[in-house]
C-alpha cells in the first residue's frame, strides 16, 4: 500500500505517540511503585520527581487503588491509538472491529483469570496473570499483530 504524504506523516506521528505514551506509562508506574514501596516499608529513601510530586501527600491505599484507574486510562488510550493505527495502516475503517475484538477477548480473559485466581484460592497467581494480560493492552502489541494479519488477508484477497 502506498501512502500519501499526509498519511505517511500521520503514520510517523502515531508511531512517535505510541513510543511516547509507552515511556510516559513506564515512568509513571515505576515512580508510583517506588513511592508505594517507600510508604509501605517506611525506611526506604525515595523522592518522586517534581512532575509527580502531588502524589507525595497521598496515603498508601489511595495511591494503590489509583493505579487501577491509571491502568484503565492507559488501556483506553492504547485502544484509541490502536484504532487510529489500524485505520491508517490498512486504509479501511471497517478493520477497526478487529481491534475491538482483540481488546474484548483479552479483557474477558483478564476478568476470568482474576476471578479464577480468587475462586481457586490462588489469588496471587491469578492477579499476576491478569496483570500480564492487561500489560498487552497497554502496549502496541495487539496493533502489531492485527495490522500484518490484515495486510496478509488483503494480499490473499487480491490474488
pLDDT confidence of residue 158: 60
Per mean pLDDT, which range of 28-32, 33-37, 122-126, 134-138 is the poorest?
122-126
Total domains in the chain come to 1
Domain coverage including residue 56? 5-158
Inform me whether the pLDDT recorded for 1 exceeds 80: no
Per mean pLDDT, which range of 6-15, 63-72, 76-85, 126-135 is the poorest?
6-15
Q: Measure the CA–CA gap between 157 and 92, rounded to whole angstroms.
A: 14
pLDDT confidence of residue 152: 84
pTM metric for this prediction: 0.87
List C-alpha distances in Å: 17 to 10, 33, 144, 153, 155. 10, 24, 15, 27, 28
Residue 43 — very low, low, confident or very high, per pLDDT cuts 50/70/90?
confident
Q: In the numeric block, which cell numbers belong to residue 89?
A: 495502516
Amino acid at each position: 500500500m502506498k501512502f500519501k504524504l499526509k498519511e505517511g506523516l500521520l503514520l510517523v506521528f502515531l508511531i512517535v505517540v505510541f513510543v511516547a505514551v509507552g515511556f510516559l506509562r513506564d515512568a509513571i508506574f515505576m515512580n508510583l511503585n517506588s513511592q508505594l514501596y517507600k510508604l509501605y516499608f517506611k525506611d526506604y529513601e525515595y523522592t518522586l520527581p517534581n512532575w509527580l510530586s502531588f502524589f507525595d501527600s497521598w496515603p498508601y491505599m489511595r495511591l494503590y487503588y489509583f493505579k487501577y484507574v491509571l491502568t484503565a486510562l492507559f488501556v483506553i488510550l492504547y485502544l484509541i491509538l490502536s484504532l487510529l493505527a489500524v485505520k491508517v495502516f490498512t486504509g479501511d475503517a471497517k478493520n477497526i472491529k478487529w481491534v475491538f475484538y482483540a481488546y474484548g477477548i483479552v479483557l474477558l480473559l483478564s476478568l476470568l483469570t482474576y476471578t479464577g485466581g480468587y475462586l481457586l484460592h490462588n489469588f496471587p497467581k491469578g492477579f499476576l496473570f491478569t496483570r500480564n494480560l492487561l500489560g498487552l493492552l497497554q502496549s502496541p502489541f495487539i496493533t502489531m499483530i492485527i495490522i500484518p494479519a490484515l495486510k496478509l488477508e488483503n494480499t490473499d484477497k487480491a490474488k
